[in-house]
Structure 1
Amino acid sequence: MTGVGGHADAVARLPGDFTGIAAILHGLLIHEFWADAYGVTLSDADRETVHLRPADKILDAVLAKDPRPFDVAREPEQRVATNCRGFTVVSVALLRAHGVPARARCGFGAYFREGWFEDHWVVEYHDGERWRRGDAQIDGVQGKALGIDFDLSDVGDRFVVAGEAMRLVKAGGVDASRFGLSTINEGGEDWIAGNVARDELALAGVEVLPWDTWEGPGIPEEVFNELRKRSEVLR
């Protein structure tokens, strides 16, 4: 999911650090739920790219829409629709192509809505000294709307991996209903368990789409109990 395929030469000419890569992606991709903020109305056809899994296929879609080099920022309406997972897997692919250890993590961001942990993906990468978690999705437009006042290349504990979210709930520290997707106002332990599955798969190198595993209510009880156990080892 995180290879660059036939784009290796083009990627080699891009910045190789997290901040530089995120800046490049802000000019190539647009989050489907944030399109209105850029004055863009996405058609159903535009939204089809949200279902692309491999990073190289997302890059293919970028060039199919606009064949200019990746370091040329597109106008918002010419950017490829994706979501936080898309920003993350492409960032991981580009970092790895530059020799930077990186992986995708699935969990919840605490910086989207006060008192809420939003279903989200970020990049975990090693800067040569330690592992950091960076948010490749949020640009200046989103940052202003969200009131971001911290370094997005190192979000720290503002992002909670799914296993930690489950442990927090089990310990009674946080109500499970605060973890979920605010756009549909849903949350709960099923949302956390679904992200435990996605995060474990991502750590194994299989960065599934958000809807490739259980999402929200409906996880079979035996599966939920197993995911609850497995959350103990996800750090």
Structure 2
Amino acid sequence: MKDTLKFYQEHDMMTEIKTMKHMVTGIPKDIKTIVTYVQNILLHQHWSEVYGLELSDERKKEPFIRSFEDKLIFLNKLGFTHVSEQRTNDHKMISICRDFSVVAAALCREAGIPARARCGFASYFEKDKYIDHWVLEYWNEEKKKWVMVDAQLDVLQQRALKLPFDPLDVSENYFITGPRAWLLCREGKLNPELFGIFKWWGYDYLRCNLIFDANSLLKMPMQPWDMWEGYKSLPIEEWTEEDYKVMDDLSIHDINGDHHFEAFYQYVQTNDKIKVPEDLSKVINSLE
């Protein structure tokens, strides 16, 4: 477990900061402050109207910026010199839940806290449905366990959603990771048609978030519209029972990854139909 924690304490290609280190100096080892910093710089695209913003087509492209380094470059052009600065909503970067989680993980790692972005489904956005979502998971040294945090949920969103829990400590009752969701549906404990977002539901979406979560745990947190050759793009109608079995096994490896990391790593990295291509130019934005 010690080696695993060290792995998640170190940056990956999506969270590393190269030229913009001055914007993340002095990050405290405090989750509440880190979440505040994330909310200082990001504003969720699908909540923009609630914050009084009408987004142009150009601003809607901002979530396409992948890495934290490139986000910091963009934010610097907006006038930010440090993530601790508080600015008006129209000066924040338009983002999605994945970005809040990846940026939070990046700042945790800057502070020396093991952290990772998790992909799955939240039960607190729509009644009786499990909506596509990402959260931060960080290692709480005092409690000796991973704790999930929804870095997106500021005071406005908390009030609007009437949350029954603290966003700094989200239990698995409210957020179901991709692998858990897949297995719960496969075991007949939950209805797969309740999992998804917008017009996409069922196993088609469950497999996406399972694959995203597995790759994110191997420090490659992708974006929800990313497609690549393999199970991510193979039409679910063409799947055989063997294909479903591959996802069953992936879910089990994912869930057991902390204690059997090498087996999990090998399962993903030796399957080109699961892992993110090393050449990211082969990743397609399905929204374009």
Decide: shared fold, TM above 0.5: yes
Aligned to 1:152: 167
* 1:230 is aligned to 2:243: no
Aligned to 1:89: 102
CA contact (8 A) 1:164 1:234 kept: no
CA contact (8 A) 1:191 1:217 kept: no
CA contact (8 A) 1:190 1:215 kept: no
Question: Mean Cα displacement is larger for which, 224-233 or 166-175?
Answer: 224-233
**TM-score for both structures, normalised by structure 2:** 0.76
Aligned to 2:4: none
1:113–1:125: structure 2 CA closer, same or farther, 3 Å change rule?
same
Q: Which amino acid aligns with 1:170?
A: R
1:15–1:42: structure 2 CA closer, same or farther, 3 Å change rule?
farther
Q: Note the aligned Cα RMSD (angstroms).
A: 1.9
Aligned to 1:206: 220
Mapping of 1:20-31 within 5 angstroms? 20-31=33-44
Q: For residues 20-64 of structure 1, give each alpha carbon's deviation from its aligned partner in whole angstroms, at most 9, with x where no partner exists.
A: 111112121111101001000111111221011111111221111
How far 1:216 sits from its partner (Å)? 9.4
Mapping of 1:158-197 within 5 angstroms? 158-181=174-197, 184-197=198-211
Counterparts of 1:216 and 1:136, CA distance in 2: 29
Q: Which amino acid aligns with 1:201?
A: N
Q: For residues 144-193 of structure 1, give each alpha carbon's deviation from its aligned partner in whole angstroms, at most 9, with x where no partner exists.
A: 11111311111011111111001111111110011101xx2431011011
Aligned to 2:125: 112
How far 1:194 sits from its partner (Å)? 0.7
Select the residue among 15, 35, 45 that pairs with 1:2: 15
* 1:218 is aligned to 2:235: yes
Aligned to 2:154: 139
CA contact (8 A) 1:16 1:94 kept: no
How far 1:217 sits from its partner (Å)? 9.1
Question: Mean Cα displacement is larger for which, 11-20 or 163-172?
Answer: 11-20
Counterparts of 2:164 and 2:72, CA distance in 1: 30
Gaps of 5+ in 1: none
* 1:130 is aligned to 2:150: no
Q: Which amino acid aligns with 2:166?
A: D
1:72–1:25: structure 2 CA closer, same or farther, 3 Å change rule?
same
How far 1:79 sits from its partner (Å)? 0.8
Instruction: Name the SS for the 2:226 alignment partner.
Output: coil
Question: Mean Cα displacement is larger for which, 60-69 or 122-131?
Answer: 60-69
Q: Decide which structure has the larger Cα Rg and report it.
A: 2
Question: Mean Cα displacement is larger for which, 122-131 or 7-16?
Answer: 7-16
CA contact (8 A) 1:4 1:97 kept: no
Counterparts of 1:115 and 1:88, CA distance in 2: 24
Q: Which amino acid aligns with 1:30?
A: L
Counterparts of 1:166 and 1:15, CA distance in 2: 36
CA contact (8 A) 2:140 2:147 kept: yes
**TM-score for both structures, normalised by structure 1:** 0.92
1:109–1:215: structure 2 CA closer, same or farther, 3 Å change rule?
farther
Question: Mean Cα displacement is larger for which, 155-164 or 59-68?
Answer: 59-68
Gaps of 5+ in 2: 1-13, 256-288
* 1:36 is aligned to 2:54: no
Aligned to 1:53: 66
4+ runs of 1 displaced by more than 6 Å?
Answer: 214-217
Q: Which amino acid aligns with 2:211?
A: A
How far 1:115 sits from its partner (Å)? 0.7
CA contact (8 A) 2:22 2:82 kept: no
Q: Which amino acid aligns with 1:200?
A: A
